[in-house]
Amino acid sequence: MDLCDVSALTSTYALLSKDFRSELRTRYAVNALIMFVVTAVSVIVFALRSEQPDSGVLAGMFWVVVFFTAMSGLSRAFVSEEERGTVLTLQLVATPSVVYFGKLLFNTVLTVSMVLAVTALYMVVFSGFVIRSPDIFFLTVLLGSLGLASASTIIAAIIAKANTRGTLYPVLSFPVLIVLLMTVMSATGKALDGEPFASAGADFMVLLSYIMVMTGGSYLLFDFIWKD
Amino acid sequence: MAVLKVAAVVLVTIVLLGGIAIPLAASPQSFFEFPVIPGLEEKARNIFFHVPVAWTTVVAFLVSMVYGILYLRTKKIDYDIISVSSAGLGFIFCFLATITGALWAKFNWGSFWNWDPRETSIFVLLLIYGAYFALRSALDTEEKRATLSAAYSIVAGLTVPFFIFVLPRLVSGLHPGSGGDIDGSGPVVEFKMSANMLVFFFMGLAGFNLLYVWILNLRVRTMRLEYAQSHEQS
Amino acid sequence: MTPFTVRGTNLGKTFNRKVIFREVSFELGRTSSLAITGRNGSGKSTLVKIIAGLLSPSAGSVAIEDGGQILDESRQREHLGLVSPYLQLYDEFTALENIEILSRIRGIKTLERDHVQSLLTTFSLWDRRNDALRVYSSGMKQRLKYVFALVHRPTVLILDEPTSNLDSEGVESVKHVVRDQKSRGIMIIATNEAQEAKWCDEALHLG
């Protein structure tokens, strides 16, 4: 895709806006994500009873909820097209690059919104969840969401063509996401503990390179996955 | 091919016998005595099996990934046959590496599993292999199986460099040679092994790799025959 | 109008070790028309998908040339229009929204309102243009597929089972479209019906 190609940008934006408009009308993905977040956090609260976990545990639990919520909602980008038979239509009107970036951007917006929602919920529910280094926290949220969306999107494209999509999605995504999860959990822990920004520098480097490698690799692979 | 097979059998046998039988001595006199490595002592024998097997599983994964890439570019089903055969072998070697690693961990550090970076890496590789085969079993047509599993192995392969280079620097570990290694007994990295141990070690490395090549060859040839046979029938 | 060619050379397709068809070749220029015939399962829809660039052939290739220059994949889309039972449009959007959104995804920034109106009117959908596809009958959906296929004035029009779900009025509109397409561009029809096959000058039989 030629990045200076205006019509490709128009197409990508049009696909993105189609997905948003569709989402606004049907609210499938948003409903699933909200319900899942609320349910997951509720289960955790009940399991802990009145215990308030420390920052390390909270950081870990935060991303566990994010991971499973992502697994419940991010595959829709491709699975919905397969289920409704509109894959052929998209293949007819759009180039693979347009489809990839459109879906990636859609999933990214969904992920960032979801992570912010989980943050808000955690701040309300867990007294130990105090963001002492907001600079670390918000950069982690941003980079973590980008990385999560990137890996989740390409895996979603892969499993959309398979039979047992629901269970396959987390099974395939987890090994690929472990590096990301370990890094964001470590950085989030530092953010809750009030560490200086520089201490998370290595984490951010890892996250940035992960995003670049994942997005670049996915873009190159997408043509092969998308076209029959 | 016959030379490879003989070499594989000879090497692995020597390593199995020598690795287990040769006694340790404080200052080794003959070829048939190993030095005592502080922190490891008798447990050092695992080095002859664990490291080559772990090494081979990574090689098998890379081979599988490379042939996956070749399949994507040429669409020749033979490449997919090699890719899946290598992955199957890699899976088995990965189990062996995990088990020999866990046993060593138990004797050395007290517990079977500690989430040290290298342990985590081998576990992730095990998960990747598992996911690869789960994906393949969920796809109907041969073409889709080949294309999508090749794509997945590439995506998973993209994260492997992060494990090898990045994680050990972020998280201190117990493995010899990584951050938290107190005694500094990193036998492989710092070559604290004596010359005769090195001989056995490299024989083990070569032997297990040749074993891998041999079995891979057998599997590929078998699958090719099965493929040709079903092709004729349809 | 520049010379335009669609050429299939030795096309073959194999699925799961079963050969669907092999060694299919054809060459079509402006005003040519091709009927692809064969019983159910002979691979007509598969061949249609290959020509439309939606499926890769196992052997051979399809070349689309505009004025002697071979078009690469990204440029081929704007010249192709397809109506097929495998094509689905978006249920949650109205007819007009579907046309607008899909055209914009195609890269067409401004829609020609008059052209869209005339197409919708030809296929008796103008009055129902603001209804969501969810409430459309299968016949109406089929007619909308024609509007979708024609809105960008494709040089190559491919119809897979052109009259499925259509009443006699719909069939008349289709005949009109076929006549028009044959006069300016390339017409390809895949069908079981002998009547429809007769609309084309050349024929290719599969199976």
- At C95 the pLDDT is 93
How many Å apart are CA B135 and CA C77, to the nearest integer?
32
Question: Which residue stretches of chain C have pLDDT < 70?
Answer: none
Is the pLDDT assigned to residue B174 strictly greater than 60?
no
Q: What is the pLDDT confidence band of residue B2, given thresholds at 50, 70 and 90?
A: confident
From first to last of its 228 residues, chain A has per-residue pLDDT tens of 444 567 788 899 999 999 999 998 888 888 888 999 999 999 998 888 878 888 888 899 999 999 999 999 899 899 999 988 899 999 999 999 999 999 999 999 999 999 999 999 999 988 888 888 889 999 999 999 999 999 999 999 999 999 888 889 999 999 999 999 989 998 999 898 888 888 888 889 999 999 999 999 999 999 999 988
Q: What is the pLDDT confidence band of residue B192, given thresholds at 50, 70 and 90?
A: low
Q: Using N-to-C axis directions, what is the helix angle for A96-125 and A28-48, rounded to 10°?
A: 30
Cβ distance of C16 and B231 shorter than 8 Å? no
Contacts of B among chains (3+ CB pairs under 8 A): A, C
Structure tokens that stand for B168 in this block: 């050990």
B146: chain C residues, CB-CB within 8 Å: none
| Residue C164: DSSP 8-state | T
Q: What is the pLDDT confidence band of residue B175, given thresholds at 50, 70 and 90?
A: low
Indicate which of A21, A25, A92, A97 best probes the interface with C, i.e. most C CBs within 10 Å of its own CB: A92
How far is B144 from chain C, CA to nearest CA, in Å? 9
Q: CA separation (Å) from A181 to A187, A188, A210, C31?
A: 10, 10, 11, 59
How many Å apart are CA A208 and CA A214, to the nearest integer?
10
Q: Is residue C188 a contact partner of residue C157, using CB atoms and an 8 Å limit?
A: yes
- Amino acid letter, residue B76: K
**Out of A97-111, B69-83, B136-150, B200-214, least confident range:** B200-214
Cβ distance of B141 and C16 shorter than 8 Å? yes
Q: What is the mean pLDDT of chain C?
A: 90
Q: CA separation (Å) from B94 to B48, B101, B178?
A: 16, 10, 21
How many Å apart are CA C207 and CA C205, to the nearest integer?
7
Q: Does C61 touch chain B (CB under 8 A)?
A: no
- C167 burial (CB, 10 Å; 0-12 / 13-18 / 19+) is exposed
Q: What is the pLDDT confidence band of residue B168, given thresholds at 50, 70 and 90?
A: low
CB atoms within 10 A of CB B14: 15
- At C102 the pLDDT is 93
Helix (H, G, I), strand (E, B) or coil at C13: strand
- At B193 the pLDDT is 61
Chain B residues with CB within 8 Å of chain A CB:
72, 120, 124, 127-128, 130-131, 134-135, 138-140, 144, 147-148, 150-152, 154-156, 158-159, 161-163, 166-167, 169-171
Structure tokens that stand for B51 in this block: 């490291």
Report the candidate in C207, C196, C165, C185 with the shortest Cα–Cα distance to residue C33. C185
| Shortest CA distance from C58: residue in chain B | B75
A156: chain B residues, CB-CB within 8 Å: none
Question: In this complex, which of C15, C17, C58 lies closest to B231 when CB atoms are compared?
Answer: C17
How many Å apart are CA B154 and CA B211, to the nearest integer?
25
- At B186 the pLDDT is 36
Total beta-carbon pairs less than 8 A apart between chain B and chain C:
13
How far is C59 from chain B, CA to nearest CA, in Å? 11
Q: What is the ipTM of this complex?
A: 0.91
Structure tokens that stand for C15 in this block: 């699925």
A10 contacts: CB under 8 Å, gap ≥ 6: C104, C107, C109
| Residue A162: DSSP 8-state | S
- Amino acid letter, residue C138: S
Q: pLDDT tens digit string along C82-100?
A: 999 999 999 999 999 999 9
- Amino acid letter, residue C193: E
Q: CA separation (Å) from A178 to A113, B55, B197?
A: 21, 21, 36
Q: Which of residues 11-70 of C touch A (CB under 8 A)?
A: 49, 52, 54-56
- Amino acid letter, residue C27: E
Q: Is residue A10 a contact partner of residue C107, using CB atoms and an 8 Å limit?
A: yes
**Phi, psi dihedrals of residue C62, rounded to the nearest 5°:** -115, 130
Percentage of chain C surpassing pLDDT 90? 61
Q: What is the pLDDT confidence band of residue B84, given thresholds at 50, 70 and 90?
A: very high
Cβ distance of B147 and A221 shorter than 8 Å? no
Is the pLDDT assigned to residue B108 strictly greater than 80?
no
Report the candidate in A44, A106, A77 with the shortest Cα–Cα distance to residue A169. A77
Average of per-residue pLDDT across B138-164:
91
Structure tokens that stand for A102 in this block: 């459109």
Q: Is residue A94 a contact partner of residue A11, using CB atoms and an 8 Å limit?
A: yes
B127: chain A residues, CB-CB within 8 Å: 174-175, 178
Q: Does A228 touch chain C (CB under 8 A)?
A: yes
| Shortest CA distance from B227: residue in chain C | C17
A78 contacts: CB under 8 Å, gap ≥ 6: A103, A156, A157, A160
Q: What is the pLDDT confidence band of residue B163, given thresholds at 50, 70 and 90?
A: confident
User: Helix and strand tally (H, E) in chain A?
Assistant: 9, 0
CB crowding A5-43: b at 16 or more within 10 Å, else e: eebbbbbbbbbbebbeebbeeeeebeeebbebbeebbee
| 3-state percent helix, strand, coil for chain C, nearest multiple of 5 | 35, 30, 35
**Phi, psi dihedrals of residue C136, rounded to the nearest 5°:** -75, 150
| Residue C132: DSSP 8-state | B
CA dihedral A197, A202, A205, A211 (to 10 degrees): -100
Q: Is residue C104 a contact partner of residue A7, using CB atoms and an 8 Å limit?
A: no
Cβ distance of A213 and B171 shorter than 8 Å? no
Cβ distance of B127 and A179 shorter than 8 Å? no
Q: Which of residues 130-169 of B touch C (CB under 8 A)?
A: 140-143
Average of per-residue pLDDT across B13-42:
64
Q: CA separation (Å) from B100 to B42, B51, C110?
A: 15, 9, 66
How far is B137 from chain C, CA to nearest CA, in Å? 15
CB atoms within 10 A of CB A84: 14
Q: CA separation (Å) from A159 to A78, A79, A169, B147?
A: 9, 8, 7, 12
- β pairing state of B34-35 and B24-25: parallel
Q: pLDDT tens digit string along B30-53?
A: 566 666 665 566 666 777 788 888
